[in-house]
Amino acid sequence: MNKIVICGATSAIAVEVAREYASRGATLYLVARDGERLSTLASDLKARGASGVHTEVLDLALNEHHQALLARIKDILGAIDALLIAYGVLPDQQRCEEDVEATMQLLQVNTLSVISLLTLFGNEFAKQERGTIAVISSVAADRGRKSNYVYCTSKAALDVFLQGLRNRLFSNGVHVLTIKPGFVDTPMTAHLKKGLLFAEAAEVGRGIVKAIDRKKDVVYLPWFWIIIMAIVRNIPERLFKRMSI
Amino acid sequence: MKGESWGRYPKVSQQVRMLEKRQQNPFRSKEELYLPYGQGRSYGDCCLNDGGVLIGTRWLDSFIEFDRDQGVLRCEAGVTLAQVLELVLPAGWFLPVTPGTKFVSVGGALANDVHGKNHHGSGTFGCFVRRFELLRSTGERLICSDRENAALFSATIGGLGLTGLITWVEFSLKRAPGPWIEMESVRFGNLEEFFGLSQESDKEFEYTVAWLDCVSAGANFGRGIFMRGRHVPSEAHPKRSLLGRLSPKVPIDLPSLTLNPLTVRAFNELYYRKQRQRLVKKLVHYDPFFYPLDAVSGWNRIYGSRGFLQFQCVVPSSGNSRPIAQILSTVVENGDASFLAVLKEFGDISSPGMLSFPRRGVTLCLDIPFRGTRTLNLFARLDEMTRDFGGAIYPAKDATMSAESFQQYFPRWKEVAALKDPRCSSSLWRRVTGLTQS
Ligand SMILES: Cc1cc2nc3c(=O)[nH]c(=O)nc-3n(C[C@H](O)[C@H](O)[C@H](O)COP(=O)(O)OP(=O)(O)OC[C@H]3O[C@@H](n4cnc5c(N)ncnc54)[C@H](O)[C@@H]3O)c2cc1C
Ligand SMILES: NC(=O)c1ccc[n+]([C@@H]2O[C@H](COP(=O)([O-])OP(=O)(O)OC[C@H]3O[C@@H](n4cnc5c(N)ncnc54)[C@H](OP(=O)(O)O)[C@@H]3O)[C@@H](O)[C@H]2O)c1
């Protein structure tokens, strides 16, 4: 596993995944919007032992860039061992309720643009007949709730899309991983109060690499979220609709 | 937002703003007072800024360049010593100096000019700093070294975060053959024996430190265990201790009763008795050797929410046990048991830092639960004694020393005051300079 592509490479979680691969001597192709943070990350990965680091500054929400991106990556890396799609945003739920445009934009970033990438790269992986496609979804995808259902929706759509893709690409020998982190201490959650349920990005990053190594289909990180979400999913809707969580 | 340091005393109200990249300029307003913040592992109020803003550096955690042949590392200021070790040890390098916890940032290690068990042979962390970038509130970015911006270089090492934000640091590492330490522990019956052991061991061992029983009076007064070690190559396979494997956490504040004179006395007795022979030799991993407390995360919560104070002084020694004996008996007589007392002789390698704490003499370190005025009175008394002995108190561990004392302990403080960034300040700085503004 030595040629890794990361979309949204400056995400705190993705950075930890990249570091793990760098220390294994991988070659990485990193895509993100912020050029300064991208070059900080590139030197960090080289110091840790990455064989090569290529960076590209790009707004991934724009579908029209995806085809050319894939072409450039193939040019530089040849075959791809793993693709991680990590970018995403946590919207202001209330703003989404008041402004339908905000909701549409969020879905474009978290969902539609990811589906565009998955379609293009999926076809490429099918041709390669090997490799891993990993996408960061969220435990939030398991149930819609009033405090952030727009975000829940954006991730739940990915979950279903990935199920189908996994099923389709299985016969091509391609591994598809759905990653479902719980609360992680990153810039995305900087405004939230940190309780006992919060995990470190480094721990989640290591968990992702392990799940890729082991060819898992779906992984909850840290593991205990699988229990919490099983309970949350099983609360009858007639009760759930009355609850505030 | 409520804020506290590792000792959980004092409590302040301050804001925390996290930096997302080192290119960002956090000094946004002309009204606010700022203080860079690392991992908050300082005990007193040097990492607090009551009424002001802390600049969080935790996300500045990238390496910039690692020269594996020369052993030189350049990294962002928020990188922790634990992260440094993970990177450099497999390449045959180790931290040139390390404090008793690896969960401190490189910026914090520089700003407190930290020392470790090898002070007698190596000096402080600041002695290994080659250069760093300092971001001033004007937006100016200065590269500081002993040649470039030399005055700011010296003012920032041990400079308590007052000269601006350190964004990255370049420092040199030391060679180490692997993670193993050959360690000897030797029991001693009193302070004279400690000084004897210390003189003898400092010549032959890179690392020396002693644990002191600071509960017992009478015949057992001043007894303890002297620990010394050196890096050795070994094929042994890392076997993590039970504590290491469990990595326990103290998730809640324990009631302040947990650590009372009785439990502390029992602990001290057990700790001393645990070692049956006078001298024990073992091969240990560097983790339990350097960082025994890191095994239990959040251990500071065992003191409850009132917190505790740490007292760390250095006093001239040259084999003279009287000052330490007097300080220790003052604590014992006050009925304030210390759970952990550490004793070590510093060497005379001087640091470039103007406010650097370590200096020739012996340093004593005690943890004392906070019990209101009674504790504050004891600390005032200890401060006075330290001053009379011609010693000094470590700002990284202090919440109580008087302005007068600080100014005597650190005669170069005015030079630092002149080089200080006008928009930087801390609770400690306002206390020890007697200034209310900045
Ligand atoms: C269990 C334990 C054992 C310890 N043992 C030792 C020991 O053996 N020897 C020793 O010397 N110390 C020891 N210490 C103290 C500790 O090493 C210091 O307090 C250290 O400075 C803490 O680093 P930090 O990253 O937590 O910094 P903080 O506590 O967050 O900050 C410390 C100071 O550094 C400044 N600072 C932090 N980052 C920056 C930056 N980027 N730019 C400018 N200024 C900055 C802050 O303003 C503040 O003044 C120990 C502490 C603990 C908890
Ligand atoms: N943190 C949590 O608690 C948590 C929990 C479950 C799932 N997740 C998911 O984990 C993933 C990573 O998040 P994180 O926690 O690591 O937070 P983060 O550090 O804030 O990362 C989010 C990343 O997405 C990038 N991004 C947003 N819009 C983009 C766009 N249009 N083009 C390119 N990049 C874009 C951001 O780049 P910029 O910096 O340039 O904006 C940022 O690097 C996200 O998908 C998130 O939904 C997080």
Ligand 1, atom nearest to B357 Cα: 11
* Nearest chain B residue to A188, by CA: B20
Tell me, using a 6 A CB cutoff, whether residue A91 lines ligand 2: no
Q: A242, A118 in Cβ contact below 8 A?
A: no
Which stretches does DSSP call E strand in B147-219?
165-172, 174-175, 180-188, 207-212
Tell me, using a 6 A CB cutoff, whether residue A32 lines ligand 2: yes
Q: What are A53-73's pLDDT values in tens digits?
A: 999 999 999 999 999 999 999
Q: Do A40 and B22 touch (CB under 8 A)?
A: yes
Cα gap A33→A9, rounded to integer Å: 9
Tell me, using a 6 A CB cutoff, whether residue A188 lines ligand 2: yes
The single residue listed with the structure tokens 């990255």 is B168
Q: B379, B356 in Cβ contact below 8 A?
A: no
Q: Do B20 and A12 touch (CB under 8 A)?
A: no
Tell me, using a 6 A CB cutoff, whether residue B160 lines ligand 1: yes
Q: How far is the CA of B43 from the centre of ligand 1 (A)?
A: 8
Could you tell me if residue A9 is inside a domain? yes
Q: How far is the CA of B157 from the centre of ligand 1 (A)?
A: 12
The 3-state DSSP class for residue B253 equals coil
Q: B50, B15 in Cβ contact below 8 A?
A: no
B288 closest CA partner among B236, B228, B244, B247 = B244
Q: What are A193-231's pLDDT values in tens digits?
A: 888 899 999 999 999 999 999 999 999 999 999 999 999
Average pLDDT, chain A: 97
Q: Which among B21, B64, B87 has the least Cβ separation from residue A43? A: B64
User: Is the overall model pTM greater than 0.90, yes or no?
Assistant: yes
Q: Which among A40, A48, A190 has the least Cβ separation from residue B87? A: A48
Tell me, using a 6 A CB cutoff, whether residue A88 lines ligand 2: yes
What is the Rg, in whole angstroms, of the alpha carbon atoms belonging to chain A? 18
Q: How many CA atoms lie within 13 A of B161 on its CB side?
A: 34
CA distance A110 to chain B (A): 22
Q: Could you tell me how many CB contacts below 8 A there are between chain A and chain B?
A: 33
Pocket test for ligand 1, best of B37, B39, B124, B290 (most atoms within 8 A of CB): B37
- CA B79 → CA B74, B228, B284, distances in Å? 10, 28, 26
Task: Work out how many domains chain A is built from and give that number.
Answer: 1
Pocket test for ligand 2, best of A7, A13, A41 (most atoms within 8 A of CB): A13
Q: Do B21 and A34 touch (CB under 8 A)?
A: yes
CA distance B306 to chain A (A): 21
Phi and psi for B335 in degrees, rounded to 5?
Answer: 75, 15
- A→B interface, C-beta within 8 Å: 12, 34, 36-37, 40-41, 43-44, 47-48, 187, 190, 196
pLDDT at residue B274, as a whole number:
78
What's the domain range around A67? 3-240
Q: B6, B42 in Cβ contact below 8 A?
A: yes
Tell me, using a 6 A CB cutoff, whether residue A86 lines ligand 2: yes
pLDDT at residue B107, as a whole number:
98
Domain at A176, CATH number: 3.40.50.720
Angle at B410 between CA B408 and CA B415, to 5 degrees: 115
One digit per residue, the tens of pLDDT, for chain B of length 438 reads 889 999 999 999 999 999 999 999 999 999 999 999 999 999 999 999 999 999 999 999 999 999 999 999 999 999 999 999 999 999 999 999 999 999 999 999 999 999 999 999 999 999 999 999 999 999 999 999 999 999 999 999 999 999 999 999 999 999 999 999 999 999 999 999 999 999 999 999 999 999 998 888 788 888 999 999 999 998 776 565 666 656 677 767 766 556 666 777 777 777 777 787 889 999 999 999 999 888 888 888 888 888 999 999 999 987 688 999 999 999 888 887 777 789 999 999 999 999 999 999 999 999 999 999 999 999 999 999 999 999 999 999 999 999 999 999 999 999 999 999 999 999 999 999 986 544
Residues of chain A neighbouring B64 (CB-CB closer than 8 A): 40, 43-44, 47
CA distance B84 to chain A (A): 11
Could you tell me if residue A143 is inside a domain? yes
* Residue with CA nearest ligand 1 atom 19: B42
Distance from chain centroid for Cα B367: 13
Per-residue b or e along B282-310, where b marks 16 or more CB atoms closer than 10 Å to that residue's CB: eebbbbbbbbeebbbeeebbbbbeebbbb
Could you tell me if residue A31 is inside a domain? yes
Could you tell me if residue A245 is inside a domain? no
Q: Does ipTM surpass 0.90 in this model?
A: yes
pLDDT at residue B244, as a whole number:
60
A9 closest CA partner among A205, A239, A206 = A205
Could you tell me if residue A170 is inside a domain? yes
